[in-house]
Amino acid sequence: MKVFAITNQKGGVGKTTTAVNLAAGLAAHGQRVLLIDLDPQGNATTGCGIFKREALPTVYQLLIGSASLAKVCLKTEFGFDVLPANRELAGAEVELIELDRREYRLRDALQAGHAEYDFILIDCPPALNMLTVNGLVASDYVLIPMQCEYYALEGLSDLVETLRKVRGNLNSRLEIEGLLRTMYNPQSTLTQQVSAELESHFGKKVYRTIVPRNVRLAEAPSYGKPVIAFDKNSRGAQAYLSLAAELLDRFGMLKDASQKEPMA
């Protein structure tokens, strides 16, 4: 089982979009996937067609220890499972401070799912708080979605420093698996410059797959679907199917070249 924190301390970079659609992409490639919504806004939950008010118990109950992983987990029609969230999760910030092993609550809770999944994807909040720390401590890898703009580079340096501290104090196995360029506009000179700078600094950590600006990708959440289920032929859907294949290829989980084409 491989656990990924999908995180960026800067909001609006396609973090939740990436979490939902990578989960769908990996599932389309035959992987057993659990998506954890760790953001009190619950956007990943609604993006999978789950009504937040009805989604009880949620990851909140899992973190405070009043519900098990099996009790919280919901199956979706898109081939992957979800641990849902709603605004109740915001209260976990205060409650976690007073609990034993507060940084390890999510990691401890996920022990029960080790044999059930190939990938666990954690959609972290766009801030460094106790929820994000739980996501990072529970993870093996970090996937960073980011726009190719000037402020994104500034935020990236802060995030890398945060990850260094978490690795040094709480989770020595944590590493950056990759950086994903999102909302990409190839006509922009600045976009091209920032993209080149990323490749220069991070080399092969930067995914070859680039997610373009795409109307269908933006529309899909309002229908409660990953874009792969909404419009599989759209550029956004094809990008996330490609990202899933690239990720599997990195881990040697594509048995042959034909598997780079996702399962129907």
- Residue extents of the structural domains in the chain: 2-260
Return the SS3 of 39.
coil
Buried b (16+ CB within 10 A) or exposed e, 103-114: bbbbbbbbeebe
Q: How far apart are the C-alpha atoms of 179 and 202, rounded to whole Å?
A: 8
Element of type H or E holding 59: helix 59-64
Write down the pLDDT at residue 105.
95
Q: What count of residues does the chain have?
A: 264
DSSP 127: S
Q: How far apart are the C-alpha atoms of 201 and 195, rounded to whole Å?
A: 10
Q: What sign results for the dihedral spanned by CA atoms 117, 75, 236, 231? A: positive
Write down the pLDDT at residue 264.
38
The CB density around residue 207, as the number of other CB atoms within 10 Å, is 19
Which pair of tokens denotes residue 205? 């950590």
117 touches 1 (CB < 8 A)? yes
Write down the pLDDT at residue 260.
58
Write down the pLDDT at residue 55.
58
Return the SS3 of 195.
helix
Write down the pLDDT at residue 9.
82
CATH superfamily of 2-260: P-loop containing nucleotide triphosphate hydrolases (3.40.50.300)
Write down the pLDDT at residue 177.
97
Write down the pLDDT at residue 263.
43
The CB density around residue 227, as the number of other CB atoms within 10 Å, is 29
Block mean pLDDT (10 aa), the chain, length 264 = 93 91 97 96 95 82 93 95 93 86 95 88 92 96 91 83 94 96 89 90 94 94 96 96 96 68 45
Q: pTM (2 decimals)?
A: 0.94
Q: How far apart are the C-alpha atoms of 231 and 105, rounded to whole Å?
A: 37
Chain centroid to CA 220: how far? 17
Residue 61, judged by CB atoms within 10 A of its CB (0-12, 13-18, 19+), counts as middle
